[in-house]
Structure 1
């Protein structure tokens, strides 16, 4: 994992040493065992974390299938946005796919940080904007790229996941069936 203070600055811009110390005081180390839930559908997520190590899977169960929305890897933020920010029941399950180490701030401490450190409101705004940009980028890729282009792009950015998680999870993240994913994967292997 990238150093915590470096990671905060990468995501939110340059901050003073005092600002970074204030933020760091509120984050605590947390560990999840493999298959342990960070939060579940119907609950209200009460924490926001940065992944230090391991992989978490964000997914939902529908009547017809299981939908993997995202796979969180080291240096990424993790929370259930609807639950954490809007106090509504979670739509998604977030489960440790491997053993996971996190740096976590609880909702209560998050609210204290907002009061003690007014600059945090700007950081929060940037976090939500980054979430929105990721969502918008994902929608754009699903609407404008072929399945093979989405596969190649994801492979270029998350190559390590292709050896660590079942392909049906990656296929779901990419909005394709496992069969389409397998065909594309076979074509890519033939090109190599």
Structure 2
């Protein structure tokens, strides 16, 4: 679980003995391509670290699927409304590839504070970072052009353009697949 330990250390900067204690709560899990980590309407009861693979977070409307996020290796995945508030999810989380995860169930997540005294502070930092990511996404959609959003995402995760259907990336960036294709061609030809 080296990647999980590195992730925990980068987020929280805590002693390795505490990292080992936190890691002990996470259990390995595999999800096959096409299978679901979570389906809309169900309650998410776990937080997972994505060791390998790609997961797509999306919502289905009356007319289309809207991709909210594509989670890749080295990131956490959950539905916070389910994990924290025990509400049914409004989104689906589906494996785009075979995935290897380390997951912690809600009950164990809630019990970490009994083992790691500063856990509640660390949890606050984690949720604040999640909120900051959400704020950044809202800002990019409100203040950036489609071309700027494309370039920013491409600079951040260029490998996804070869691993994920482009219509998912386009949806996540708030544009049509045709717009994404046009922007890609413009960058390739410049």
- Partner SS for 1:29: strand
2:153, 2:75 → 1: CA distance? 16
- Partner SS for 1:137: helix
Correspondence for 1:106:
105
- Give CA deviations for 1:85-139 in whole Å, capped at 9, x if unaligned: 1111101101111000001101111112133323211121111111110010011
Aligned Cα root-mean-square deviation (Å)? 1.2
Correspondence for 1:127:
126
Contact 1:54 1:100 in 2 (8 A): yes
Count of equivalent residues: 190
* Structure 1 residue 2: Cα displacement: 5.9
Correspondence for 1:186:
185
Contact 1:35 1:95 in 2 (8 A): yes
* Structure 1 residue 4: Cα displacement: 2.1
Correspondence for 1:16:
15
Correspondence for 2:7:
7
- Give CA deviations for 1:119-160 in whole Å, capped at 9, x if unaligned: 211121111111110010011111111100100110011101
Contact 1:58 1:69 in 2 (8 A): yes
- Give CA deviations for 1:35-55 in whole Å, capped at 9, x if unaligned: 111111110101001110000
Structure 1 unmatched runs, 5+: none
Contact 1:82 1:91 in 2 (8 A): no
Correspondence for 1:53:
52
1:2, 1:189 → 2: CA distance? 37
1:121, 1:18 → 2: CA distance? 17
TM-score calculated relative to the size of structure 1? 0.95
Contact 1:41 1:92 in 2 (8 A): yes
2:42, 2:130 → 1: CA distance? 21
Structure 2 unmatched runs, 5+: none
TM-score calculated relative to the size of structure 2? 0.96
* Structure 1 residue 81: Cα displacement: 1.1
Correspondence for 1:41:
40
2:117, 2:141 → 1: CA distance? 37
